[in-house]
Amino acid sequence: MFLRLFLVLVTLLATTLAGWLPGGWLGAWGGAMAGALALAGLQVWRGMRLNRWLAAPDPDIGAPPPPLRGLWGEAAWRASKLLRRERRQAQENAQRLQSFLQAIQASPSGVALLDADGRIEWFNQTAAEHFGFQPGRDLLQHVGNLVRDPAFATYCADGDFSRPVKLPGRHNTPTHPVTLSVQLHPYGEGRKLLQSTDITTLAQAEAMRRDFVANVSHEIRTPLTVLMGFVETLQSLPLSAREQANYLSLMAAQASRMQMLVEDLLTLSRLEGSPPPSDAERVDLQAMMHQCEDEARALSRMLHASEDSAQELVFDAVPDFSLTGAAKELRSAISNLVVNAVRYTPAGGRIHVRWLRLNEGGARLEVTDSGAGIAPEHLPRLAERFYRVDRSRARESGGTGLGLAISKHVAQRHGGELLITSKLGKGSCFALQFPASRVVLGGAQEMAARATAAGTGSDSDRGDASV
């Protein structure tokens, strides 16, 4: 600083002396003025260069300031330092914002940012899937014009956003319901964050829980009511031995119904709480299918003894293979499918039971009937506990409503699945499909496989010998 002042004074003294020598005091005054003007002009020129550099529309961060000296040079250096710091801060903020948006983009919840007027400023891919938003079309559109559900309009109009509102999803159909939980979160100056979550699974689980409690209560209350009525009758009325025997028989039937229900509930609880069965146990399918066939024919004769035409039951021969797993569980699953077909197929109908080997090595049991069929909207929920298409008909058939749920759990525990196809008026097909890891060749197939392996091995041995 003192050096700069010294140089200014030296410059002024030099110009004053240069003017005084030829012109005396008047020349000295003129020289001093000329020196001052020269110094001022130099500072103005340096300031103009600095101003042009600062006024550039987007100066390169790495570009140095103009090479100026003096105070303007120091100001240029400090301004350059501040600009670089601000640019770095802006880049870091932009990177943080981008990372934040990427995190929101990866969120399983839908997120849309709304301005103070309710127009959409940004949304992630999940929100686009939930509501059908399109970036090129729906940005800056009012959210009320795109989400037209009356419940959402009422929710926005009330202004109470402490709780979410449930809306049907974009792909909601009667056979595949989709439920969204949507909530607005105010922030900033009148802005809002729209959050949507797919709660279809939770809604279905809650509905299943309510149905389960209601159905268990109903299924147990009905036979209990009948039993209580019979007990009161036996206690209050003088009955003959024949009448007492008849009432006791009816009471035994209701007790048996409750026992079946409790046993099926315990079976489901055991299936859900135990580890998957190992593949060490080999199940004899031929013996098992003979037992299921005898049971089905006996039930068919009992249900349609008074009918003119009996059911036609066709059991194909079991292919020469077996399954590995829990024999008791597989017996229950297969028996449930066959018994259901017999119960729900009218007299004169046809039931076809067969095993198939799949191309990938798995196996499938198919139980096909010529019954009334099932409407498409019932198929997704058919394997739920106590779910029934026609409750009155199901009650007459004597089932507990848990057979398909048991079959589904058994198939899943063995790595397979329960497949259901049906058409109204044309019957249904219930299938248990098992993976190749659960299929074991037996008898002729096993001998053929061993022979093939032996032949392959002998060929390779001959090849090695020839070499």
Question: For residue range 402-458, what is the model confidence (pLDDT) as tens digits?
Answer: 889 889 999 999 999 999 999 888 899 999 999 999 999 874 455 445 445 555 444
Residue 354: pLDDT over 90: yes
| Residue 265: per-residue pLDDT | 81
pLDDT band at 63 (very low <50, low <70, confident <90, very high): low
- Average pLDDT taken over every residue of the chain: 80
| Residue 210: per-residue pLDDT | 78
| Residue 222: per-residue pLDDT | 76
Both structure tokens of 405: 């749920």
Q: What is the pLDDT of residues 166-207, one digit of tens each?
A: 999 888 887 788 899 999 999 988 899 999 999 988 887 887
CA distance 41 to 205: 84
Q: What is the pLDDT of residues 64-79, one digit of tens each?
A: 666 766 666 667 777 7
Name the more confident of 239 and 141. Answer: 141
Name the more confident of 456 and 265. Answer: 265
Residue 62: pLDDT over 60: no
| Residue 127: per-residue pLDDT | 92
| Residue 97: per-residue pLDDT | 81
The residues, any chain, with a CB within 8 Å of residue 4's CB and separated by 6 or more, are 70, 71
Alpha-carbon torsion angle 129, 130, 131, 134, nearest 10: -20
**3.30.450.40, 3.40.50.300, 3.40.50.280, 3.30.565.10: CATH of 277-467:** 3.30.565.10
Q: What value does the mean pLDDT take over residues 116-125? A: 92
Give, to the nearest 10 degrees, the angle between helix 285-303 and helix 327-344.
30
Q: What is the pLDDT of residues 303-333, one digit of tens each?
A: 877 666 778 999 999 888 889 999 999 999 9
CA distance 27 to 18: 8
Name the more confident of 412 and 233. Answer: 412
| Residue 351: per-residue pLDDT | 95
Pairing mode of beta strands 350-357, 312-315: parallel
Alpha-carbon torsion angle 227, 228, 232, 234, nearest 10: 20
Name the more confident of 142 and 17. Answer: 142
Q: What is the pLDDT of residues 102-112, one digit of tens each?
A: 888 888 899 99
| Residue 378: per-residue pLDDT | 85
Q: What is the pLDDT of residues 369-390, one digit of tens each?
A: 998 888 888 888 888 777 777 6
| CATH code linked to domain 204-274 | 1.10.287.130
% of the chain residues with pLDDT over 90 = 31
Residue 392: pLDDT over 60: no
How many CA atoms are closer than 13 Å to the CA of 285, on its beta-carbon side? Answer: 26
Of 41, 42, 49, residue with least CA distance to 80: 49
**2.60.120.890, 3.90.79.10, 3.30.450.20, 3.40.50.300: CATH of 107-198:** 3.30.450.20
Across 65-74, 148-157, 254-263, which has the greatest mean pLDDT?
148-157
Name the more confident of 446 and 217. Answer: 217
Name the more confident of 47 and 100. Answer: 100
Sign of the Cα torsion 331, 424, 218, 412 reads positive
Sole residue written with tokens 């979160």: 185
| Residue 450: per-residue pLDDT | 47
The pTM of the whole model exceeds 0.85? no
Q: Domain map of the chain by residue range?
A: 2-100, 107-198, 204-274, 277-467
Give how far Cα 460 sits from Cα of 312, 401, 410, 448, Å: 52, 57, 42, 18
Name the more confident of 162 and 271. Answer: 162
CA distance 139 to 114: 10
CA distance 135 to 138: 6
Q: What value does the mean pLDDT take over residues 158-162? A: 90
